[in-house]
Amino acid sequence: MSDNTTHFGYKTVDESVKAQKVAEVFHSVAQKYDVMNDLMSAGLHRAWKFFTIETSGAKPGDKVLDIAGGTGDLSKAFCKKVGKTGQVWLTDINSSMLGVGRDRLLDAGVATPVALCDAEKLPFPDNYFNIVSVAFGLRNMTHKDAALKEMYRVLKPGGRLLVLEFSKVWSPLKPAYDIYSFKLLPVMGKLVANDADSYQYLAESIRMHPDQETLKSMMFDAGFAKVDYHNMSAGVVALHKGIKI
């Protein structure tokens, strides 16, 4: 990649257009996002998110920022953890996804702040949040290093970053995983969401995302300490954690 280009799946595009292309993907899939998540992961995404919440250390009174929060699964769970004295912000760069998430939270009787914003330019003060989480969103960001530095900036000293993301699968499973990702996933996307191309992109974006050790190094570079990760489902996903000292 040159200084002015980046990847969009396996394609090389100008940095200035990647955000728009990603936006088009999520505008397209927003209404079927949860259904497809259940189908794609056989429901495992719920267990991955549950583990993230349960190991987050969130407690009553905490302030939590849910970046790329999509349909609001993590925000809803965090609201239960922080209680009435805490605060959870649901944010996303995509208005369609954010609208679905906001509506789902309201339907569940959860009233929490919602903001349309770019993770690379967060509209929050320094040292504000106890926890920042980003689930299945970091890989879609154009400048991941800038986004990680912003997450570091808005965390309080002692605050925790949680990055739940697809990662590098255990090598013996790779052939089967590739067949599933590139043969079956687009077909499912076509049948359920009437959009094969977006799910082809999603499969490609997973392969282009930094692996476990690379992301760990990126978090250290952004200033985080005590960075570690936990593989789930044989590395299909990994939860990275880091602390702001």
195-217 burial, b for 16+ CB within 10 Å, e for fewer? beebbbbbbbbbeebbebeebbe
Residue closest to 69 by CA, chosen among 95, 32, 87 = 95
DSSP-assigned letter for residue 30: G
The rounded Cα 205 to chain-centroid distance in angstroms is 12
Q: How far apart are CA 44 and CA 42, in angstroms?
A: 6
Task: Provide the residue type at 110 as one letter.
Answer: V
Q: How far apart are CA 123 and CA 67, in angstroms?
A: 12
Tokens of 213: 């050790």
- 3-state SS, residue 126: coil
Find out whether 92 is annotated in a ligand binding site: yes
Taking phi over 0 as left and psi of -120 to 50 as alpha, with beta for the rest, 108 belongs to: alpha
Q: How far apart are CA 72 and CA 199, in angstroms?
A: 20
CB 105 within 8 A of CB 75: yes
Find out whether 118 is annotated in a ligand binding site: yes
Q: How far apart are CA 86 and CA 34, in angstroms?
A: 26
Angle between helices 15-29 and 33-41 (to 10 degrees): 90
Binding-site residue ranges for S-adenosyl-L-methionine: 71, 92, 118-119
Binding-site residue ranges: 71, 92, 118-119
